[in-house]
Structure 1
Amino acid sequence: MANVGLKDLLEAGVHFGHQTRKWNPKMRPYIFIARNGIYIIDLQKTLRALNKARDFLTGVSAKGGTVLFVGTKKQAKVAVKELATRCNMPYVTERWLGGMLTNWQTISKSVAKLDEIENLRATGRIEQFSKKEQLEIARTYEKLEKNLGGIRHMKGLPAAVFVIDTVEEETAVREANKLGIPVVGIVDTNSDPEMVRYPIPGNDDAIRAISLYVSVAAAAIAEGRSSRSEGRDGGVEIQADRAGRAAPAAVSMDDAEAASE
């Protein structure tokens, strides 16, 4: 889904925010109106932010960079795993382990154990161990595969991180920020948009909305990879300036009504 319009966002329910009593004042610029106790997100701003993030991800991919997808909440797991796998990018859909980025050297050693255990099985050397030891090895493998399987082919730190729900994935966002890794994040009305380099205001709970975000990201990465194979780059600097984020103009009621038609 490379080209997305206001109608697509509306149909996916991207405009539905959280209850008005559960909000972060920093999201005020992205809120269109409050209706029946629910904040309605300004989809004009969502679309602009989505396009900006898409261009950034295309540029990262065109330069050969890795994008780490993160979505551990139930609604995000399937889409994140499926589409990240499709575009050959690493992902985390189970619990984020502290230090996945900031302590990558240690985490990578745990990832390497997956290959070691698979090698033991493939060569038959696993039979050298007692039944009890084999059971313990199997349990270790199962645990590692569950928590680290999505990043087992990640050779180093990613060039960017794509996050569904920056509140849920706060640890991942903070680790990326600490290392200066740009974050593209879906920010609902309870989020802090200043925590991520490329905030995309939108519903972070609806499965359909989440699928749309991830589809756009995956398509952007595929586009960047294609341009790289053709000898072109995306023309986007991976380390973009945080201060370069300009707040788009507010949408009018007429615009919102036209989008809903």
Structure 2
Amino acid sequence: MMLKKVCNIRSACILSMRKLSTDVQPALLNNDVKQQKNPLDYPDYFQVHNIFTVKDLFNARVHYGHKEGSLNDNMRPYLYGSRLGHLIFDLNITAEHLRKALNFTAHIAYRGGIICFFNRNSLNAHIVEKTAKECGEYAHTRFWRGGIFTNANYQFGAVTRLPDLCIFLNTQNNILTQHTAVRDSAKMLIPTIGIVDTNCDPNLITYPVPGNDDTPVAIELYCKLFKEAISRGKAERMKFSQENS
């Protein structure tokens, strides 16, 4: 009788242990999946699509281009039309390109890449420099000396790490000539994001974003959006490090 009672208790313990293991195992598996989640498997892992709307672009005057006579033929696919002699961007196309650029920026920040902002418009230089400082990244808003990327080791007298991403808030040195760093980045295979106005050439830009590159309110919006994308990427990187430490 005593032996039968012990066997029953043992059987009950085994059943309860099996039930416990089946309950815990899915949780452990789910935890492993969560820790091993790869951002590259998701089209918008950092949810950058909800940072802005087309109305935000319109309110920031992103749709305003230059006069018709200054149009670069490569910018025709991004246009909605013209009004009173000034070209108008299609903001639906701009929003699509901008979201791709923000997503790429967040991935670079997530992987600990170096990001450098560029701007040659003295009116907006302070905004760009302030944004880069707040992001913990870098900015260059002065004259660009040729060879900084293509001959960096000689220029700085040491082995130099180049940026992992260059963000151009405007891609022109002036109305007629392109920023030299756009060409240098292409030569060194550095990915680039560029706000390209109607007088710009988007061919050498990895992620061209058609839009106004002059108006301060538009530049402020771009800076705000890129700052948020970088912040989201770095926050996810920190979260991943804490979970795996």
Smaller-chain TM-score range? 0.7 to 0.9
| Structure 1 residue 165 displacement after superposition | 1.6
Runs of 4 or more consecutive aligned structure 1 residues displaced over 4 Å after TM superposition:
none
SS of residue in 2 equivalent to 1:176:
helix
Q: 2: distance between equivalents of 1:86 and 1:106?
A: 30
Structure 1: gaps of 5 or more residues: 113-154, 233-261
Q: 2: distance between equivalents of 1:104 and 1:217?
A: 26
The answer for the alignment partner of 1:79 in structure 2 is 127
**Identity in percent:** 37
| Structure 1 residue 231 displacement after superposition | 1.3
Once the two structures are superposed, what CA deviation does each residue of 1:148-185 show, in whole Å capped at 9, x if it has no partner?
Answer: xxxxxxx6201010002212252010000000001000
Match of 2:161 among 156, 165, 171: 156
| Counterpart contact for 2:120–2:170, Cα < 8 Å | no
| Counterpart contact for 2:149–2:184, Cα < 8 Å | yes
Structure 2: gaps of 5 or more residues: 1-47
| Structure 1 residue 107 displacement after superposition | 3.5
After superposition, residues 57-136 of structure 1 pair within 5 angstroms as: 57-109=105-157
After superposition, residues 143-182 of structure 1 pair within 5 angstroms as: 156-168=161-173, 170-182=179-191
| Counterpart contact for 1:167–1:191, Cα < 8 Å | yes
Opposite residue 105 of structure 1, the aligned amino acid is N
| Structure 1 residue 225 displacement after superposition | 0.7
| Counterpart contact for 1:69–1:161, Cα < 8 Å | yes
Once the two structures are superposed, what CA deviation does each residue of 1:87-116 show, in whole Å capped at 9, x if it has no partner?
Answer: 01111011112122112223334xx9xxxx
Q: 2: distance between equivalents of 1:198 and 1:164?
A: 12
The answer for the alignment partner of 1:199 in structure 2 is 208
1:190 aligns with 2:238: no
| Structure 1 residue 16 displacement after superposition | 0.3
1:226 aligns with 2:231: no
The answer for the alignment partner of 2:65 in structure 1 is 17
The answer to which structure, 1 or 2, has the higher relative contact order (CA under 8 A, 6+ apart) is 1
| Counterpart contact for 1:76–1:207, Cα < 8 Å | yes
Cα RMSD of the aligned pairs, angstroms, is 1.7
| Structure 1 residue 26 displacement after superposition | 0.6
| Structure 1 residue 10 displacement after superposition | 0.9
Q: 1: distance between equivalents of 2:217 and 2:138?
A: 22
| Counterpart contact for 2:196–2:210, Cα < 8 Å | yes
SS of residue in 2 equivalent to 1:194:
coil
Opposite residue 34 of structure 1, the aligned amino acid is S
The answer for the alignment partner of 2:5 in structure 1 is none
| Counterpart contact for 1:66–1:159, Cα < 8 Å | yes
The count of corresponding residues between Structure 1 and Structure 2 is: 188
Q: 2: distance between equivalents of 1:56 and 1:75?
A: 27
Q: 2: distance between equivalents of 1:219 and 1:108?
A: 32
The answer for the alignment partner of 1:43 in structure 2 is 91
Larger Rg: 1 or 2? 2
Q: 2: distance between equivalents of 1:82 and 1:229?
A: 23
Once the two structures are superposed, what CA deviation does each residue of 1:184-239 show, in whole Å capped at 9, x if it has no partner?
Answer: 0000001111220100000011011011112111111111111111117xxxxxxx
| Counterpart contact for 2:79–2:87, Cα < 8 Å | yes
SS of residue in 2 equivalent to 1:21:
helix
